[in-house]
Amino acid sequence: MDENIKIAISCDHAGKKLSDYIIKKLNKKFLFINLNPPSDESVDYPDYAHEVCDNINKGNVEYGILICGSGIGMSMAANRHKNIRAARVHDRNAVTMTRKHNNANVLCLGERMIDKNEAVKLVELFLETKFEGGRHQKRIDKIEID
């Protein structure tokens, strides 16, 4: 992993503890741009998903991590953006496949669905797994609809 790659991370109120934990555990290994809300008071998850995706599309960061209660809402909001391939994952196989075959650039996690230490391992795996390209690229090209 190139230490110069920036990762935007954000969450809503239901994902704040996990997001803060991931940053704490991995901030020496990866460069996070923390876009988390300032407190755990209720916020609207799409606002935070949009900010992460905007940062990717502007070229400010290469990857995004989004966390809410289930990970589902964040993935739905993120996937509304052009050039975003957000994957809500729950295990290592899903992380590996979404990077190798789908070139996902946003990882979505559910704080209520996964152990915090397993989540840290999934983030590491996501950021360290490379896209295979080749036959998979033509499929990625078919995702975007103008």
- Looking at the DSSP bridge assignments, the partners of residue 31 are 6
Position 2 pLDDT exceeds 60: no
Position 145 pLDDT exceeds 80: no
**Whether residue 136 lies in the annotated active site:** no
**Whether residue 81 lies in the annotated active site:** no
Q: Say which of 53, 68, 81, 108 is annotated catalytic.
A: 68
The tens digit of pLDDT for each residue in 21-71 reads 999 999 999 999 999 999 989 999 999 999 999 999 999 999 999 999 999
Using 50, 70 and 90 to split pLDDT, how confident is the model at 115?
A: very high
Fold of the CATH domain 6-141: Ribose 5-phosphate Isomerase B; Chain: A, (3.40.1400)
Percent residues over pLDDT 70 in the chain: 97
Give the Å distances, CA to CA, from 95 to 66, 92, 146: 14, 5, 28
Q: Domain residues of the chain, as ranges?
A: 6-141
Using 50, 70 and 90 to split pLDDT, how confident is the model at 3?
A: low
Q: Say which of 50, 90, 101, 136 is annotated catalytic.
A: 101
More confident residue, 81 or 142: 81
